[in-house]
Structure 1
Amino acid sequence: MWDGRSLRVMAEASFFFTNFPNDFQEKDLWRVFQHWGRVVDVFISRKLNARKKRFGFVKFHEVKDEYALEKQLDSIWIGTWKLQANKPKYRRQEKLLHIPRSPTLHRKVWKQKNQQCSYAQVVTGGKAGRVQKEEDVFLPHVRVNAETSFWLERCFIGKMLRASDVQKIKENFILGGFNSVRVRILGGMFVLLSSEEEGQIKRLIADNKEWFEGFFESIVPWDDPFAVSEKIVWFRCRGIPLALWSNQCFERIGALLGKLVEVDERTISKEVLEYARLSIRIPLAWR
């Protein structure tokens, strides 16, 4: 039984890092950082810091000791490069979860009665009463006046062939010298392509049609009524018997929620057997 004291929640922790090889990208640093914990995200800024060096941030999950992990990251060597890492200067205050004492529970004994009750009556204590209908459920509605977003007029909506290609698309734009092109995830298989230079994206699509067809199912100009109808979520499924550890099992699990998109590499290679990490496409119900 919990004694009512405050319990520190084991949460995610982010760290700032700099001084790493110039040819390293997010995926390269991900491989380095994963030796020190469960990596959630790695981000490298396009801008340089005050010392004209590249920098970025890495986020870990289930960190027990932030200070110990900070020292470990700050002692990493990548070839002749000594990585510099520390906790971000500005960070949110940690939240403490207060768990009150559990109240004494009294067991309720169900007794058979002569009168037959419906299932709804049983779960409400055996009393006959009005069953709540769908129209009784309160659904909040918010009315907002749409404002014209001029910056969206030069944007394009891209539907990707594979959700895992986002990083590749970003890298190709940078390697091609088109640093002004931004790729932002909208949800599901959709990304927003934008550029500060007017007409640049349209020219890129026309000059590199074959390349775009290798990554995108379609690319269309921004349309105000557009809304994402699905999202892709990574799930950790625990308790799967190893005898059932197969793509067929993963696909059927994905079908319970939506549709299986991708299986994590460490799940496929059986490097991690504590859980199966699955990417599942889930439909969003808009009314």
Structure 2
Amino acid sequence: MNFITLNQDGWNQVRRRKKYGREFDINGKAVTFYVQNFPSDWSEAALWRMFSRYGAVVDVYIAKKLNRSNKIFGFVRFLRIHDPKSFEKRLNEIIIGTQKIEVNVARFERKEQVSRRKNHQVMRGQHAVQTSQPQPYVKSFADAVRGPLPVDTMGAGKSSKEDEEAHTRKTIKLISFHDSKEAMENTLVGEVESFQALMNVKAFQEVEGCPSIQLRYLGGLKMLLEFEDIAVKEKFLNEGREIWQPWFKTVSAWEEGINFNERIASLIIQGVPQHAWCEEAFSIIANSWGSVVIPEECNTSSPNLAFGRVGILTSHPGIISSSIKILVDGKPYQINILEDIFESIKLSLVLAANDFYQKMLW
């Protein structure tokens, strides 16, 4: 299965290093196909090799459970598919031994339904929504176990002037939009277990046969599940545990007042000395602002030793920007940490669409 890494060029989807040892630079949109009726003893590597004869494969995934027909199934993604239906027909001609595989364009690749919800409007009114105030840095369990860090943390966990000015900022007053508020009564909030689970959750509709449930990305590890009406929502929540539990850690009703301010942020860490250049070092530094979900892999073949990138799950207010001192073998080094807001936004768009994006050239 693919996963996301960060390097000097930004977010990239690559193959797992320990599986096939091959890295892919994804340029352009990939089309996903649902595959079933292939041999049960076939691995992702075997499917990859077979489908590679027909096009540019960028990802293969075999589910760990059977589908509703008690068949093993999976997904395969191809690049540069100009006519998905014709390509689907061609793939359906594949025979493995005596088995003819079944391939369909994945439902979540088909044209999205036009949103029922109207555009939000800012209206004058009486209900004030206070802006969130900066929260102090809370020590993590890992920090407690590791003990005091040999760093000057002056500024760590803060975003320079922005946090200081937040206390004196004027509160902006808004009121809720009636149509949006009414639509939210038909929704649930699902939180996945990990970043990898977040990358795969869009397949939920296809695998579980729930095309009427619309998924929208909320930020962090949370997804919004939209239903046709309240009755369907309540039935899914109370009676559909066996369906949603393999995909979501928790599912609960959306509530007014909950602030979904968690995000996955791309941190640029500049100035780590070359003899301390390793994944653990970058993760220890990044942990001051959140939990690491996409580590800096410190590829030994990379031409870059100036800065690394780490993806973190954080609810830190404001854009992260700091300069701190670290000690390596007792010697001090000044390093800079900056949130790359453009890369963070790009990743959010990828997660919202569950699709590949064109790589940015800086």
TM-score range, shorter chain: 0.3 to 0.5
Q: TM-score of the superposition, structure 1-length normalised?
A: 0.47
